[in-house]
Amino acid sequence: MKLIYILPIGQTDPKIIRYLSKQLLGYLHFPTKVLGAIALPASAYDKNRQQYRAGQIIREIRLFDFSNIEKVLGIIGADLYSEDFSFVYGEAEAPGRNALFSLARLDPQYYDQPANQELVKKRALKEATHELGHTYSLSHCPDTHCVMYYAQSIEDVDNKEEKFCARCQKLYEMYNS
Ligand SMILES: [Zn+2]
Ligand SMILES: [Zn+2]
């Protein structure tokens, strides 16, 4: 049986990881398994930006090699960037095996708002499903409520739902049947 492996990178909230591990099965068809955390890869850190380069971390995730890997989803507490963007919520091979997203900007405390774990869980599930959606060949969706909508702000993230819209769900099943 193939598994979606969840890989915590650096320090992350174990409650969030456990929640994702349970909930992802509701949207994708594979069971999940949480791996032991790996250290933040120093090679991906940009001192000036104080952020980690998403593409470099994807390269690290690519090194994981077991026989029953369906996908590997990295979850990092630190903030991410990619060359053309001041920050990214996540990145994925589209299509591919490996995906990554950051919890940093999903935490209301990042915006000087009170801590709210339920909100972080909700946001994290959206980002996890979004990045894994890319690995299953889905691209961005114009429907602002669809999980594949390209969120550029936390308001965009909050505005979308945890699941694929009907069109994306159909595409997901067509590409992966
Ligand atoms: Zn995307
Ligand atoms: Zn959609």
Ligand 1 centroid – CA 48 distance (Å): 25
| Residues 69-94: tens digit of each pLDDT | 999 999 999 999 998 899 999 999 99
**First vs last C-alpha separation in the chain:** 16
Catalytic residues: 131
Q: What is the pLDDT of residue 112?
A: 98
- Residue 141 Cα, ligand 1 centroid: separation in angstroms? 9
User: pLDDT, tens digit, for every residue of 19-72?
Assistant: 999 999 878 889 999 999 999 999 999 999 999 999 999 999 999 998 999 999
The confidence score (pLDDT) of residue 26 equals 79
Buried b (16+ CB within 10 A) or exposed e, 53-80: bbeebbebbeeeeeeeebbbbbbbbbbb
Shortest-distance ligand to the CA of residue 129:
1
CA of 81 to the centre of ligand 2 (A): 24
pLDDT (mean) for 141-154 = 98
pTM: predicted TM-score of the whole model, two decimal places: 0.96
Domains of the chain by start residue, with CATH = 3-175 (3.40.390.10)
Burial class (CB in 10 A: 0-12, 13-18, 19+), 84: exposed
Using CA atoms, how far residue 161 sits from 23, 25, 116, 123, in Å, is 14, 16, 18, 9
